[in-house]
Amino acid sequence: MRRSRWLAPPDQPAGVYHCHSRIVDRRFILKEAERNLFRSLMLELAEFCQVRILTYCIMSNHFHILVEVPKPPEQLPNAEETFEALGRLSSPQGIGGLRQQLEIVRQSQDPDAESRWLAQFHARRWNLSKFMQALKQRFSANYNRKAKRKGTLWEDRFKSVLVEGEGRALVTMAAYIDLNPVRARIVQDPKHYRWSGYGEAASGSESAQAGLQRVVRALLQGEPATATQSLEVYRQHLFVEGSEEGEAISEDGGTVRGCLSRKAVLRVLAERGKLATRDYLRCRVRYFCDGAVFGSRRYVESIFQKCRERFGPRRTTGARPMRGMAEPGLFTVRALQIKVFH
């Protein structure tokens, strides 16, 4: 299959995206202080860029962010509103100097000069690529300065999967992200991991709770729920999907959490067995990071038709079912022929 350009294209359209990136050489350098800094920068830049964090998880050598990117408003912010937004950044661009630049622009005889000048700031907002670029660059600069190092910090450009914003796809992706610390055996209860959307929401963060309310609304097929109700519903969903049935003893005498091993999963697939959604979420499945577009057949097919020119001429349909799933209904635009699990 011809490689799609959907992984982190230059200008993603409005929608919900799962973004993912790793530290170079997959080194485990994100300690407590680094994770706190990354979360702080993420929330600060999300506010400036006017994107919405639905949930996230910051691990020792990589991160996941489920982010909703809205369409730009019809009435873009004026100069004062833009300066106010810039001033809320922890590293604000010299507002005084920018005001001087604007005054010079206003003195020109061109009535459209101010709009063109403001466009440089508007281009950084309601834009997934600009948000991710600023987040990774600002974190890298801060980390390199403190660690007295130079060079690339991230393994490559971020990857993004376009996720259907309604129904099972959204809540399945959110659960996959929030269950990362459980799958990594860092915690037994996802609420105990502080650097995740669910962990932060469980600790009382209103912004994190608002993100999960958006996710739960999809789970409840559009029915609204309070923050408390959403936490209860989402917690039940996480425990059903990521449940561990106690610890087992491995052949070498060590303890193994009640999670399917990679070997066992691949054996079941080879025997044409099916996996329930909860079993997929226990494992590191490439669809969640490399599927490019994720959702119902109708949704994936609609995105394929909009971007038809990005695929080979022999490709007639876009939606590809996730191999090995017991429950029908979830599709991606990229069919993974090998190494479904990694």
The β-bridge relationship of strands 293-295 and 159-163 is parallel
| Burial grade of 313 (CB within 10 A; 0-12, 13-18, 19 or more) | exposed
Average pLDDT over residues 75-103: 87
Average pLDDT over residues 190-219: 90
pLDDT at 213 over 60: yes
Report the chain's mean pLDDT, rounded to a whole number.
80
- Whether the Cβ atoms of residue 248 and residue 256 lie closer than 8 Å to each other: yes
Query: In the block, which residue shows the tokens 């022999």?
Result: 314
Name the percent of the chain lying above pLDDT 90: 39
230 or 7: which leads in pLDDT: 230
> What was the pLDDT predicted at 277?
66
Q: pLDDT-derived band of residue 81, with 50, 70 and 90 as boundaries?
A: very high
Query: Residue type for 5, please?
Result: R
- List all residues 6 or more positions away from 38 whose beta carbon is below 8 Å from its beta carbon: 30, 58, 63, 135, 139
Give the tens place of pLDDT for each residue, 180-191: 888 888 887 788
pLDDT at 176 over 70: yes
What are the CA-CA distances from residue 275 to residues 249, 270, 321, 323 (Å)?
Answer: 23, 12, 13, 9
Query: Residue type for 104, please?
Result: I
Query: Residue type for 36, please?
Result: N
In this structure, the number of other CB atoms found within 10 A of the CB of residue 5 comes to 13
Average pLDDT over residues 143-151: 92
Give the tens place of pLDDT for each residue, 218-245: 888 888 888 888 888 887 777 766 654 4
Candidates 184, 161, 157; CA nearest to 24 is 157
Q: What are the extents of the domains in the chain?
A: 79-122
Beta bridge partners of residue 188, listed in sequence order? none
> What was the pLDDT predicted at 283?
56
Query: In the block, which residue shows the tokens 């038809």?
Result: 308
Tokens coding 275:
């996996």
> What was the pLDDT predicted at 3?
35
pTM of the model: 0.76
> What was the pLDDT predicted at 144?
94
Q: pLDDT-derived band of residue 130, with 50, 70 and 90 as boundaries?
A: very high
Q: How far apart are CA 334 and CA 315, in angstroms?
A: 11
Give the tens place of pLDDT for each residue, 25-39: 989 999 999 999 999
Give the tens place of pLDDT for each residue, 266-316: 444 445 445 566 655 655 565 666 667 878 888 888 888 888 888 777 788
> What was the pLDDT predicted at 7?
35
> What was the pLDDT predicted at 92?
65
Q: pLDDT-derived band of residue 329, with 50, 70 and 90 as boundaries?
A: confident
At how many degrees (to 10) do helices 79-87 and 95-106 cross? Answer: 170
> What was the pLDDT predicted at 221?
83
